[in-house]
Amino acid sequence: MNATDAVERYSDEWLILEGVRCFCEGFLKGLELPPRQTISEWADANRKLSSESSAEPGDWNTSRAEYQRGIMDAISDINVSEVTIVASSQVGKTEIINNAIGYYIDKDPCPILLMQPTENVAKSWSTDRLMPMLRDTPCLQGKVSDSKDSGNTVLHKSFPGGHITMVGANSAAELASRPIRVVMMDEVDRYPLSAGKEGDPVKLAIKRTTTFWNRKIVKCSTPTIAGMSKIDASFQQSDMRFFLVPCPHCGKYQRIEWANVKWEKKETNEESAKTAVYACPHCGACWNDVERWHAVGLGRWEATMPFNGHAGFSLWEGYSPWVPLKEIVKSFLDAKDDPEALKTFINTSLGQVWEDKGERVDETRLINRREDYTTAPPEVVVITAGVDVQDDRLEVERLGWTVNNQSYGLGKVVLLGDPAAARIWEELDDLLQTPIPHALTGEMEISACCIDSGYLTQQVGKFCQERWNRRVWAIKGMPGEGRPILKRAPGKIKKLNLEFFLVGTDTVKDVVYSRLKIDDPAAPGYCHFNMSYDENHFIQLTAEEAKTSYVKGRKLRYYALRPGRKRNEALDIFGYALAALEGLKLSGLNMRRRWEKMLARQEYAEKVREMVERNPEVVVENIPKPDILRPRRRRRLVGRFA
C-alpha cells in the first residue's frame, strides 16, 4: 500500500466514524427532554412587546402582573395537561397565550392550534398579535418565514420542528384536518354550539391531541351565563386556583374580592368612584391602588381542589395593574340599574358568570303600570318601528328611545289585508312616513324600521329594497346564544337579489325581558307603555320563556312559548324595533349628542323669539347659533347603514 492509498483509506474510515458520531449526537439530542426553562423565564429573557399591540412596548416583565407567572408556568409544567383560565378583561390573558406560543416556537417546537371564535378574529390575531411578536422578539426572528415561497399563509405558518394553525371555531374542516400537540382556545364562551355539522368545536380540537403523550390544552375566556358557560364548567373540573395577596397592614393572605371594595356615595357616579378603596376583611385597613398593586406583586396561587392534571385559574380586574379601582366602581355605578349593562360588568369586569333571576315576566305587573300619554315625551330622542308579517295582516310597533335606553311605547297598529297584495304595503309606507307628535320638537319622524322577512320573503325584500335609503330594512331572525342584536353587514339572497340583516333573536329576547323586569321608572332600560295597549298585547309580549335542554349531552338555552300561549307578535315587533335602534347606532347615531342638539335647538328658538319680540327688525340669520348646532364634517358610514 503506497502513501496515497493509505491516506484515502484512512480518510474514508474517518468520514464513516464522523458520520456515526454525528448520527449518535443527533439521536441523543432527539431523546432529550424539552428545556427546563419555564414560559415566564423565557418571556423575561426574550419577549419584546410591540408598540402596535401593547400600551407598554419594550422588554416583557412578568412581575408587572405577578399573577401571570403561575399561569404561564403551569402551561410549561410537564405534569399539567390542561389549563383553564377564567378571566375578566384587562388582565393580560392574550399576552399569556402569545408568550406560550413564542416559547413553543423557540424552545419546544411542535404542531400548535390556536382557535378563536371566528376565522376573522383568527386572522386579526395573526396579523395584529403574532406577526409583531415574531418580528420584534430576537429569538423568534427568522424562524417563521413570511415569503410567498415558504407556503405560509395568514392562518398557517411553519417553523423548524412544527407549525401553528389558526382557525375559527365554526370551521369543521380545519379542526379535523391534522394532529396537534398544543391547543390554545381563546374566548371559549363565544364559540358556536357546533362547528358545522361536526359537533362541539372544543371537543373536536381536543380530539386532535389524542396521539400525543405530552399534549397541552389551554382554554381561556370571560364567562357568560351560569349553567351555560363552557369556561366555567371547565374551571369547575380543575383544581380551581385563586390568587392570594398579603394585606399591606396586617400581612394576612386573602383573595381580592369585589365585596370588599368600598366607596362613599356622592352626587355623581364619578365623584363616588373617586373615593373607592379596598378594605381588608381581616383588619379593616383600607388600601389605595398603589398598596393593592404592591400586594399583587407579593401574591401566590392557591388551589382549592385536588390536582388531577388540570390547573384552573380565576382572575378579575381587581388584580390588574392597569385598572384603578375608581374605573371599576364607575363602571358598576353606571351599569347597576340596567340588567344588560350589569350582566356585561359581571362577566367582563368581575370575571363571574351571570345568574338569571327568573325566566318569566308577569304581564299583570306591566298592565298595571301603563301611563297616560298620547305624544312622544320630550326625552324621546329617536323613534323606530318593527313590523311582523302574518298571512292576513301586518302588525306594527312604534317605540321612542331615550339616551339611557328607556323605551316609550307609542302605540301598536294592525293593518288588515292580504300581504301578497299591494294595498296593504302602501298603507304601511304611509304609516312609516307619518310623523309622530312630540312634546319637545312638535313632531318626530320614524328614523328606522325592521320588517321580518320570514314570511313572503320576496314581497318584504322588494318593499325594503326600494326604501333602503329611508332605513327600512328586511331582517331574518337567527336563534342561538352569543349572536349580535343586528349583524353589521347585510346578507343577500342571491336568487332573488335581495338584501337583509340577521337579527340574533335570543339576544334580542334576553334584552327585552331583562328590561321588562325593571320596576324603577327612572332606571335605565325601563319600558313605558301608554293606555292604548290592551291586555292581549301584554299577554303576547310575555308569551315566551327561556328553557334549557340537552343536545348531544350539552346544555342548550332557547326561548319557547309558555303553556297556554299561542301568539307572540307583540314580543317580535318590540324586538324588531330594538334591532332598528341598534342599526342606527351602528350607522353612527350618537344618542346623547342628538339629545343635546334637541335641547340646544329649543333654547336657540326661544332666544330668537325673544330677540324678535324686542326688536322686530333684527336679522335672524345674524343671531349666532350654539356650537353644537353648527354643521360638522360627517364621518364615513360603515357597511350599508346609509
DSSP string, 393-408: EEEEEEEEE-TTS-EE
Q: Are 74 and 166 members of one domain?
A: yes
Q: What is the pLDDT of residue 300?
A: 96
Amino acid at 227: G
Band of pLDDT at residue 619, cut at 50, 70 and 90: low
Beta-carbon contacts of 101 under 8 Å, excluding residues fewer than 6 positions away, are: 112, 114, 130, 133, 164, 184
Choose the final residue of a domain: 575, 590, 605. Answer: 590
3-state class (DSSP) for residue 157: strand
Residue 2 domain flag: no
The answer to whether residues 476 and 418 belong to one domain is yes
Shared domain for 319 and 408, answered yes or no, is no
| 566 confidence band (pLDDT: 50, 70, 90) | confident
The reported pLDDT for the residue numbered 32 is 63
pLDDT over threshold 90, residue 414: yes
Are 371 and 245 in contact, with CB atoms under 8 Å apart?
no
Residue 554 has pLDDT above 80, yes or no: no
> What is residue 206's DSSP assignment?
H
Residue 137 structural domain: 39-247+301-324
Q: Report DSSP letters for 413-458, one per residue.
A: EEEES-TTSHHHHHHHHHHHTS-EEETTTEEE-EEEEEEE-SSSHH
Q: What pLDDT, on a 0 to 100 scale, did the predictor assign at position 640?
A: 44
Distance CA(105)–CA(161), nearest Å, equals 8
Please report, for residues 187, 227, 406, 494, the alpha-carbon distance to residue 87 in angstroms, rounded to integers and kept in the order given: 10, 17, 31, 42
Q: Given this model, what pLDDT does residue 149 score?
A: 59
Q: What's the pLDDT score for residue 496?
A: 61
What pTM was computed for the model?
0.70
67 and 144 together in one domain: yes
Task: Return the C-alpha cell found at 519.
Answer: 320596576
DSSP 8-state class, residue 466: T
Within this chain, do residues 403 and 545 fall inside the same structural domain, yes or no?
Answer: yes
Q: Using an 8 Å Cβ cutoff, are 76 and 106 in contact?
A: no
**Structural domain includes residue 287:** no
Q: How far apart are CA 401 and CA 381, in angstroms?
A: 6
Contact 269/318 with Cβ under 8 angstroms?
no
Q: Which three cell numbers stand for residue 24?
A: 449518535
Q: Tens digit of pLDDT for each residue in 154-200?
A: 888 999 999 999 999 877 566 666 789 999 999 999 888 777 667 78
**498 pLDDT tier (thresholds 50, 70, 90):** confident
Residues 530 and 386 in one domain: yes
| CB-based contacts of 322, cutoff 8 Å, min separation 6 | 55, 90
Please check whether residue 601 lies inside any domain of the structure: no
Q: How many angstroms separate the CA atoms of 488 and 496, rounded? A: 21
Q: Which residue has the cell 330668537?
A: 608
pLDDT at position 170, please? 79
Mean pLDDT, residues 489-512 = 80
Band of the pLDDT at 558, cuts 50, 70, 90? confident
Q: How confident is the model at residue 8 (pLDDT cuts 50, 70, 90)?
A: low
pLDDT in tens, 445-494: 999 999 998 888 888 988 998 998 899 999 998 887 778 898 876 766 66
The number of CA neighbours under 13 Å toward the Cβ of 308 is 11
Q: What percent of the chain has pLDDT over 70?
A: 86
pLDDT at 22 exceeding the cut of 90: no
pLDDT at 639: 40
The torsion defined by the Cα of 23, 26, 31 and 37, in degrees rounded to 10, comes to 170
Residue range 518-530: mean pLDDT, rounded? 91
**Looking at the 3D structure of the chain, how many domains does it have?**
2
What pLDDT shows up at residue 629? 60
The least confident of 255-269, 341-355, 505-519, 550-564 is: 550-564
Average pLDDT, the chain: 86
Residue 284 lies in a domain: no
Residue 641 lies in a domain: no
**312 and 453 share one domain:** no
Residue range 46-73: average pLDDT? 91
pLDDT at 372 over 50: yes
Residue at grid coordinates 319557547: 560
Model confidence pLDDT, tens digit, residues 139-165: 999 888 776 656 788 888 999 999 999
Is residue 337 one of the residues assigned to a domain?
Answer: no
pLDDT exceeds 60 at position 638? no
Distance from C-alpha of 327 to C-alpha of 317, rounded to nearest angstrom: 10
**Which one has a higher pLDDT value, 557 or 70?**
70
Instruction: Tell me if 55 is assigned to some domain.
Output: yes
One domain, residues 312 and 434: no
Segment 429-446, tens digit of pLDDT: 999 999 999 998 889 999
The answer to whether residue 106 sits within a structural domain is yes
Q: Span 101-121, mean pLDDT?
A: 93
Inform me whether the pLDDT recorded for 327 exceeds 60.
Answer: yes
Are the C-beta atoms of 530 and 373 separated by less than 8 Å? yes
The band of 529, judged by pLDDT with boundaries at 50, 70 and 90, is very high
Residues near 308 by beta carbon (within 8 Å), at least 6 away in sequence: 239
How far apart CA 37 and CA 39 sit, in angstroms, is: 7
- Give residue 302's pLDDT: 96
Task: Say if residue 265's pLDDT is above 80.
Answer: yes
pLDDT tier, 245 (very low <50, low <70, confident <90, very high otherwise)? very high
Whichever domain contains 439, its CATH number is: 3.30.420
Does 159 lie in the same domain as 232? yes
Residues 94, 153 share a domain: yes
Q: Are residues 475 and 404 in the same domain?
A: yes
Pair (231, 131) in one structural domain: yes
452 and 428 in contact (C-beta within 8 Å)?
no
- Percent over 90 (pLDDT), the chain: 56
pLDDT at 628: 61
- Residue 83 CA to residue 96 CA, distance in Å, equals 12
- Who wins on pLDDT, 371 or 17? 371
Lowest-confidence segment of 149-158, 206-215, 235-244 by average pLDDT = 149-158
CATH of the domain at 88: 3.40.50.300
